Amino acid sequence: MIEINNVTKTYKLGAHEIKALRKISLKIEPKEFVAIMGPSGSGKSTLMNILGCLDKPSDGSYKLDGIEVKDMNDNQLAKIRNQKIGFVFQSFNLLPRTTALKNVELPLIYAGKYNRTALAQEALELVGLKERLNHKPNELSGGQRQRVAIARALVNKPGLILADEPTGNIDSIAGEEIMEIFQNLNEQGITIVLVTHEENISEHAKRTIRFRDGRIVEDRQIGKRRSAKEELKILLESEEYKNNNNRNSGNSH
C-alpha cells in the first residue's frame, strides 16, 4: 500500500537548510497498524504530510497503491486525499460554528456524494456519537471532538487513516476510547498510521517505527499488544471506585 524509497525532505529557510527526512525507506502493507515514535523535531509530521499527499518529497520515491505520487498533479492529489486517506490531527481541526453532523458531511460534499446526512450519521454512530449530531465543537468534550474528527476521516471509507498525535490533547480515558475505535477499524481492514510520543499508546499498534534526526532508528513488531477495550474496562472500574469514594469529585470525562 505504502512504499517509500530513499525519501529526503529538505526545508529551506532563507540561506538555511533543514533536513527533516534523510533517505527514509519504508513499506507499510494493507491492514497494518503502525505507531510512529520519536522526539520532537525528528521528522514524524513531515513523514505524515508526505504519506498523506499534503507535501512531496524533495527527493526519492513514494508510491501509494502502486502509483508514484510525484507524478500526480494537484487535482489528482486532492482526489486521492479525499478518497483514499482519512486524516486525524492533534487539534481536531473541526469547523467551530458547525454541528458535528455538518463537519462530518464536508468530505462528502467534496466527493460529490448524495445522501450525505445518512452517511455522516452512520459515521458518527460508529464512533458512539449518535446522541450528539447537532452539537457544535464547543459543546463537546475533547474526546468527543476527536471522535467527530475520526467520523469525518472515515466517512468516505478510506483504506488508510493517518493520525498525528490524536490523543495529545485529551485525557487518558478519552485516549483509550480513541484507541479502541482505531483498533476496531483496523480489525475491519483499515490501515492505520499513528504518531504518538506516549509509549502506552504506541503499544496498541502492531508495529512501532522510531525516528531520530530524520532517520528511522528502530522498526519492530509488537509481540503483546494492548487491548484498548480491556484497558478501558480497568480504567472505568478504577474511575468508578474513585467516584464511589468521593462523590463530590466532578466528572472531567
Choosing from 14, 15, 40, 246, the residue that interacts with ligand ADP (CB under 6 A) is 40
46 binds ligand ADP (CB under 6 A): yes
Question: Shortest distance, CB of residue 165 to Mg ion, whole angstroms?
Answer: 7
Binding partner of residue 46 among ligand ADP, Mg ion, none, CB cut-off 5 to 8 Å per kind: ligand ADP
For 18, 86, 246, the CA distances from 58, given in Å and listed in that order, are 12, 24, 56
In angstroms, the Cα distances linking 163 to 25, 31, 112, 199 are 20, 15, 24, 16
156 interacts with ligand ADP by CB under 6 A: no
Q: Does 45 bind Mg ion (CB under 5 A)?
A: yes
Residue number, 156 or 208, with CB nearest to ligand ADP: 208
Q: Is 43 in the site for ligand ADP (CB under 6 A)?
A: yes
At residue 50, the 3 state secondary structure works out as: helix
Residue in this structure with the C-alpha cell 490523543, named with its chain if needed? 167
In the complex, the smallest distance separating the C-beta of residue 9 from ligand ADP, rounded to whole angstroms, is 8
Stretch that binds Mg ion, among 3-11, 44-52, 174-182, 205-213 (CB under 5 A): 44-52
188 binds ligand ADP (CB under 6 A): no
Binding site partner of 153, from Mg ion, ligand ADP, none, Cβ cut-off 5-8 A by kind: none
Quick one: what does residue 175 bind among ligand ADP, Mg ion, none, with the CB cut-off 5 to 8 Å set by partner type? none
Rounded to the nearest 5°, which phi and psi values hold at 246? Answer: -150, 80
Q: Does 13 bind ligand ADP (CB under 6 A)?
A: yes
Classify residue 41 by burial, with Cβ atoms within 10 Å: 0-12, 13-18, 19+: middle
Subset of residues 84 to 113 that bind ligand ADP, contact rule: CB under 6 A: none
- The CB density around residue 175, as the number of other CB atoms within 10 Å, is 26
Query: Which of the listed partners (Mg ion, ligand ADP, none) does 143 bind, with a CB threshold of 5 to 8 Å by partner kind?
Result: none
Which residues are CB-neighbours of 200 under 8 A, at least 6 positions away? 226
C-beta closer to ligand ADP: residue 45 or 183: 45
At 138 the three-state DSSP class reads helix
CA proximity to 34, closest of 6, 72, 4: 4
The entry of ligand ADP, Mg ion, none that residue 42 binds, CB within 5 to 8 Å by partner kind: ligand ADP
Long-range contacts of the stretch 225-234 (C-beta < 8 A, 24+) = 226/179, 226/200, 227/183, 228/176, 228/177, 228/179, 228/180, 228/182, 228/183, 228/204, 229/180, 229/183, 231/176, 231/179, 232/173, 232/176, 232/177, 232/180
Stretch in the footprint of Mg ion (CB under 5 A) among 43-51, 108-116, 211-219, 244-252: 43-51
Over the window 20 to 39, marking each residue x when it contacts ligand ADP by CB under 6 A and - when it does not, the resulting string is: x-----------------x-
Q: Which residues bind ligand ADP (CB under 6 A)?
A: 11, 13, 18, 20, 38, 40-46
Q: Which residues bind Mg ion (CB under 5 A)?
A: 44-45
